[in-house]
Amino acid sequence: MAKQFDVVVIGAGPGGYVAAIRAAQLGQSVACIDAWSNAKGGAAPGGTCTNVGCIPSKALLQSSEHFEHANKHFAEHGISVSGLSMDVTQFLARKDTVVKQNNDGILYLFKKNKVAFFHGTGAFSGQVEGGWAIKVTGKDNEELVAKHVIVATGSSPRALPDLPFDEKTVLSNDGALAINGVPKKLGIIGAGVIGLELGSVWRRLGAEVTVLEAMPQFLAAADEAVAKEAFKAFTKQGLNIQMGVKTGAIKTSAKGVTVAYTDAQGAEQSLAVDKLIVSIGRVPSTNGLNADAVGLKLDERGFVAVDDECRTNLPNVWAVGDVVRGPMLAHKAEEEGVAVAERINGQHGHVNFNTVPWVIYTSPEISWVGQTEQALKAAGREYKSGSFPFLANGRARALGDTTGFVKILADAKTDEVLGVHIIGPQASELIAEAVTAMEFRAASEDIARICHAHPTLSEAMKEAALAVDKRALNF
List Cβ neighbours of 206 (8 Å cut-off, separation of 6 or more): 182
Q: Which of 133, 194, 296, 314 binds ligand NAI (CB under 6 A)?
A: 194
Does 276 participate in binding ligand NAI (rule CB under 6 A)? no
Helix axis angle, 14-25 to 330-344, nearest 10°: 30
Q: Which of 21, 92, 170, 193 binds ligand NAI (CB under 6 A)?
A: 193
Minimal distance in Å, beta carbon 339 to ligand FAD? 14
How far is Cα 109 from Cα 101, in angstroms, rounded to an integer? 12
Q: Where are the beta strands (DSSP E) in 297-456?
A: 317-319, 358-360, 365-370, 383-389, 405-411, 417-424
**Catalytic: which of 66, 73, 350, 454?**
454
* Cα–Cα distances in angstroms (integers) from residue 156 to residues 41, 174, 304, 314, 460, in the given order: 20, 10, 14, 24, 38
Does 200 participate in binding ligand NAI (rule CB under 6 A)? no
For residues 20 and 271, which CB has a smaller minimum distance to ligand FAD in the complex? 20
Sheet of strand 170-171, all strands in order from the earlier edge strand to the far edge:
170-171, 275-278, 185-189, 208-212, 240-242
Q: Which of 32, 54, 245, 340 binds ligand FAD (CB under 6 A)?
A: 54
Does 229 participate in binding ligand NAI (rule CB under 6 A)? no
454 catalytic, yes or no? yes
Q: Which of 11, 13, 47, 195 binds ligand NAI (CB under 6 A)?
A: 195
For residues 6 and 335, which CB has a smaller minimum distance to ligand NAI in the complex? 335
For residues 210 and 279, which CB has a smaller minimum distance to ligand NAI in the complex? 279
R_g over Cα of the chain: 24
What is the three-class DSSP state of 57?
helix
For residues 189 and 205, which CB has a smaller minimum distance to ligand NAI in the complex? 189
Minimal distance in Å, beta carbon 366 to ligand NAI? 9
Please provide the DSSP assignment of 347-360 as one string.
S-----GGG--EEE
**What is the phi-psi region of residue 291: left when phi exceeds 0, alpha when psi lies from -120 to 50, beta otherwise?**
alpha
Minimal distance in Å, beta carbon 110 to ligand FAD? 14
215 binds, among ligand NAI, ligand FAD, none (CB under 5 to 8 A by kind): ligand NAI
- List the x/- string, 358-397, binding to ligand FAD by CB under 6 A: ---x------------------------------------
Does 340 participate in binding ligand FAD (rule CB under 6 A)? no
Q: What are phi and psi of 155, to 5 degrees?
A: -145, 170
Minimal distance in Å, beta carbon 347 to ligand NAI? 28
* Cα–Cα distances in angstroms (integers) from residue 210 to residues 62, 87, 187, 191, in the given order: 21, 23, 5, 10
For residues 218 and 388, which CB has a smaller minimum distance to ligand NAI in the complex? 218
- List the x/- string, 4-33, binding to ligand FAD by CB under 6 A: ------xxxxxxx----------------x
Does 190 participate in binding ligand NAI (rule CB under 6 A)? yes
213 binds, among ligand FAD, ligand NAI, none (CB under 5 to 8 A by kind): ligand NAI
Q: Is the peptide bond before 455 cis (omega within 30 degrees of 0)?
A: yes
How far is Cα 411 from Cα 381, in angstroms, rounded to an integer? 8
